[in-house]
Amino acid sequence: MPVAFVKRHLSRELIVQLMIFGVVGVTATLTHYFTALLSHELGGIDLYLANLFGYVAAVMVSFFGHGRFTFKQELNWGVFVRFSIVSVSTFFCSELILLGLEKGLDLPHRISLAVVVSTIPLITFVLSKLWVFRPPAQRENPKNQ
């Protein structure tokens, strides 16, 4: 039964889109890491400020990468606002998941982090596909799919 469900719902196009989403995500993560690291180590910038620089750089890589390559949508201010809402919301969601798993269920941090890094990208993908980068005609009239 689960195999039939997956075959029905995972088209080749969706699988390719998920792979591109992953490549853009890894690129954004590396951008965050190296921007923060180099800002701190070579630029002498405070680590927390350097981390903010890395985060902002990663958001830009994600926005342009997912817009152009993953979802192939025209980028504009409205898309950026929706993208920012999802970015900030999923960050806070990841914090709440960590808090609940570590403090509420007393799970080790390695397990808690593994849950976060395996669920948040999926949530982000779904929100991006269905809302952030959804073509305007489909957002205004969901029956036009």
Nearest to 128 by CA among 88, 76, 71, 57: 71
Statement to judge: residues 67 and 78 lie in one domain = no
Which residue range forms the structural domain that includes residue 59? 1-72
Cα–Cα distance between 53 and 12 in angstroms, integer? 36
Q: Which of 53, 72, 91 is the last residue of a domain?
A: 72
Average pLDDT over residues 18-23: 93
pTM of the predicted model as reported, rounded to 2 decimal places: 0.76
Residues 2 and 61 in one domain: yes
**Residue 52, pLDDT above cutoff 80:** yes
**Which of 55-59, 79-83, 131-135, 138-142 is the least confident region?**
138-142
Name the phi and psi angles at 44, rounded to 5. 70, 20
Mean confidence (pLDDT) of the chain: 86
Task: Write out the two tokens for 124.
Answer: 């982000």
User: For residue range 68-124, what is the model confidence (pLDDT) as tens digits?
Assistant: 999 999 999 999 999 999 999 998 888 898 889 988 998 888 888 888 888 888 899
Say if residue 144 is in the same domain as residue 83: yes
